Amino acid sequence: MEHSNIQNISAQSDDKSNTSKDANPVCSTCGDKECSASKPRTDESHEEFKERQELQSRLCRIKHKIVVLSGKGGVGKSTVSVNLATALMMSGQRVGLLDVDIHGPSVPTMLGLEKETVTGSKEGLLPIELNNMKIMSLGFLIHNQDEAVIWRGPMKMGVIKQFLKDVVWGDLDYLIIDSPPGTGDEPLSICQLIEELDGAVIVTTPQKVAAVDVRRSITFCHQLHVPVIGVVENMSGFVCPKCGEVTQILPSGGGRLIAESMNVPFLGAIPMDPGIALACDNGQAFISQDASTPTAEIMRSIVKPIIAAGSVKKQQREHP
Q: Applying CB under 6 A, which residues contact ligand ADP?
A: 70, 73-79, 104, 106, 234-235, 270, 272-273, 276-277, 280
- DSSP, res 167: B
CB of 219 to ligand ADP, least distance (A): 19
Give the angle subtended at the CA of 197 by the CAs of 81 and 271, to the nearest 5°.
25
Contact predicate 193/237, CB 8 Å = no
The CA distance from 304 to 299, in Å, is 9
Report the residue number, 36 or 252, with the smaller CB distance to ligand ADP.
Answer: 252
CB of 218 to ligand ADP, least distance (A): 17
The CA distance from 58 to 65, in Å, is 12
CA dihedral 144, 148, 150, 155 (to 10 degrees): 140
CB of 47 to ligand ADP, least distance (A): 34
Report the residue number, 36 or 234, with the smaller CB distance to ligand ADP.
Answer: 234
Report the residue number, 271 or 310, with the smaller CB distance to ligand ADP.
Answer: 271
* Alpha-carbon Rg for the chain in angstroms: 20
Residues linked to residue 96 through DSSP beta bridges, in sequence order = 134, 175
CB of 72 to ligand ADP, least distance (A): 8
Q: Which of 64, 57, 109 has the alpha carbon at shortest distance from 280?
A: 109
CB of 15 to ligand ADP, least distance (A): 35
Residue type, 26: V
Report the residue number, 55 or 97, with the smaller CB distance to ligand ADP.
Answer: 97
CB of 206 to ligand ADP, least distance (A): 11
Which H/E stretch holds residue 84?
Answer: helix 77-90
Residues linked to residue 130 through DSSP beta bridges, in sequence order = 133
Cα dihedral sign, 91-92-98-104? positive
Report the residue number, 276 or 303, with the smaller CB distance to ligand ADP.
Answer: 276
CB of 294 to ligand ADP, least distance (A): 12
The CA distance from 109 to 112, in Å, is 5
The CA distance from 53 to 6, in Å, is 19
Report the residue number, 193 or 272, with the smaller CB distance to ligand ADP.
Answer: 272
Report the residue number, 79 or 252, with the smaller CB distance to ligand ADP.
Answer: 79
